[in-house]
Amino acid sequence: MDNTYSSNKSGYLNKDFQLFHIKDKKNQEFEFHYHDFNKIIIFLSGKVTYLIEGKAYYLKPWDILLVNNHDVHKPIIDSNETYERIIIWANSGFIENHNYEGCDLSTCFKLAKEKSFNLIRLEDKFQNNLKNIISSLEVSFNSQDFGSKLLGNSLFIQLIIYLNRLYLDKTYITTKDSLKYDKQIEEILKYINNNLSQDLSIELICKEFFISKYYLMHKFKNETGYTLHNYIIQKRLFMAQELIKSGEPVTKVSSLCGFKDYSSFLRSFKKLFHKSPREYINEIK
């Protein structure tokens, strides 16, 4: 599969958050994809390996995965076993609106990105608290009773607070059998994401990491599911999207995100987001 950065966005969220409880046993294959929102995956049963930004997580019941918006990911599912999971799509703006001084509720997502580690695996004593919150949240989410939306919102924020406490207090299990990744590709991914405004030619990256062009391209595609070129373009465009949201002039955004000329930036932006930067600005006003 040769992923292109024009066709792998998945899901559309027009609410503060959306909860799905899914249980199925069928042969299904997912492509690498990304979302414009944060995602929480609570794995309940089955045999599933989750690939996120070059790392493979081998899941156990009640494992939690924190997937940042624009993280490239996909599950690999054994169709011989029933796969049950709870998936929560979370609007980052809704989370940020509940921040206050000294309390950034998106901290757990930011740390997952910073540490390149998306898994929270709990001891049994912490699982019970998670189960109670999720159970109450599901009931409220599906209820039409008085105040159910407000109650659901408060339970969702309670869940986010709990996940932050788990991550900040490091009250989760880290074991060598929980993930697999290539250390060199991890370093290359970090290098790319830290230098999106700079020259990221294949030749320069090869020189930086002392590897051949063929080896780099083959290994990168094998570990991430993306060609090196498409990955870099996509990450630059996500960066451009955020800069435009913050009010930066479009012509300046192009150079800030490492595009050599405005025409190639414009063409790439339209291809990924199906609208021009100007149309995007008008949409978010």
Q: How far apart are CA 123 and CA 30, in angstroms?
A: 30
Nearest CA to 163 out of 40, 37, 52 is that of 40
What is the SS3 assignment for 73?
Answer: strand
Mean of the per-residue pLDDT values for the chain?
Answer: 90
Q: Are 137 and 155 in contact (CB under 8 A)?
A: yes
Domains in the chain: boundaries: 17-178, 182-284
Architecture of domain 182-284: Orthogonal Bundle (1.10)
Q: Output the pTM of the full model.
A: 0.84
- 17-178 matches 182-284 in fold: no
Q: Are 163 and 66 in contact (CB under 8 A)?
A: yes
Q: How far apart are CA 224 and CA 231, in angstroms?
A: 9
Q: What angle do CA 228, 234, 238 make, to 5 degrees?
A: 145
User: What are the tens digits of pLDDT across the range 28-86?
Assistant: 888 888 898 999 999 999 999 999 999 999 999 999 999 999 898 999 999 999 999 99
Nearest CA to 250 out of 210, 277, 279 is that of 277
Architecture of domain 17-178: Sandwich (2.60)
User: What are the tens digits of pLDDT across the range 98-152?
Assistant: 999 889 999 999 999 988 899 999 888 889 999 999 999 999 998 999 999 999 9
H/E segment holding residue 155: helix 148-168
Could you tell me the pLDDT band of residue 5, with boundaries at 50, 70 and 90?
A: very low
